[in-house]
Amino acid sequence: MIPSLFDYKRASSAAEAISLVTEYGEDAKFLAGGHSLLPLMKLRLAAPSVLVDIGRLKDLSYITDAGSYIAIGALTRHMDVETSSVVKKHVPLLACAAGHVGDPQVRHRGTIGGSIAHADSASDLPATTLALGATYVVQGASGTREIAATDFYKGFLESALRPDEMLTEIRVPKMNGAGWSFQKFNRRAQDWAIVGVAAWRGNGGSGVALVNMGSTPVLATDVATALASGASVADAAELAAAQADPQSDLNASAEYRTHLAKVLVRRALEEASK
Amino acid sequence: MKISVTVNGQTHESDVEPRTLLVQYVREDLGLTGTNIGCDTSSCGACSLHLDGEAVKSCTILAVQADGSKVTTIEGLATDGKMHPMQEAFMQNHGLQCGFCTPGMVMAAIGLLNENPNPTEDEVRIGLEGNLCRCTGYHNIVQSILACAKGGN
* CB neighbour list of residue B50: distance below 8 Å, 6 or more residues apart: B56, B70, B71, B72, B73, B107, B110, B111
Q: Indicate the CATH number for domain B85-150.
A: 1.10.150.120
- Tell me what pLDDT residue B148 has: 97
Give the pLDDT mean for A122-129: 98
- Which residue among B20, B45, B54 places its CB closest to the CB of A108? B54
Q: Check whether A269 has a pLDDT greater than 90.
A: yes
Q: Report which DSSP code applies to A52.
A: E
Q: What is the pLDDT of residues B48-82, one digit of tens each?
A: 999 999 999 999 999 999 999 999 999 999 999 99
Classify strands B2-7 and A218-219 as parallel, antiparallel or unpaired: unpaired
Task: State chain B's mean pLDDT as an integer.
Answer: 97
Question: Rounded to whole angstroms, how far apart are CA atoms A271 and A199?
Answer: 9
Q: Is A189 left (phi over 0), alpha (psi -120 to 50) or beta?
A: beta
Q: Is 70 exceeded by the pLDDT of residue A147?
A: yes
CATH 3.30.930.10 fits A58-173, yes or no: no
Q: How far apart are CA B88 and CA B94, in angstroms?
A: 10
Answer whether A49 touches B (CB < 8 Å).
no
Q: Please count the helices (runs of H) and the strands (runs of E) in chain B.
A: 5, 5
**Using one digit for the tens of pLDDT, what is the confidence trace for A58-115?**
999 999 999 999 999 999 999 999 999 999 999 999 999 999 999 999 999 999 999 9
Inter-residue contact A93 to A200 (CB < 8 Å): yes
Of A1, A34, A102, the CB nearest to B40: A1
Residue A13 scores a pLDDT above 90 = yes
**CB–CB contact A108 B55 (8 Å):** yes
pLDDT at A229 over 90: yes
Interface of A with B in 156-195 (CB under 8 A): 189-190
Q: Give this prediction's pTM.
A: 0.96
Q: Which residue of B has its CA nearest to A38?
A: B60
Residue B153 has what pLDDT?
A: 56
At A132, which amino acid appears?
Answer: L
Closest-CA residue of B relative to A107 is B56
Cβ-Cβ contacts under 8 Å for A104 (sequence gap 6 or more): A79, B55, B108, B111, B112, B115, B127, B129, B130
pLDDT-based confidence at A188, cuts 50/70/90?
confident
CA–CA distance, B46 with B53 (Å, rounded to integer): 17
A179-272 in CATH: which number? 3.30.390.50
| Chain A residue at shortest CA distance from B21 | A2
Topology annotation, domain B2-76: Ubiquitin-like (UB roll) (3.10.20)
Provide the 10 A C-beta neighbour count for residue B71.
Answer: 26
Judge: B18–A6 Cβ closer than 8 Å, yes or no.
yes
Domain ranges of chain B: 2-76, 85-150
Enter the ipTM: 0.96
Reduced to 3 states (helix: H, G, I; strand: E, B; else coil), residue A149 is: helix
CATH 3.40.640.10, applies to A7-53: no
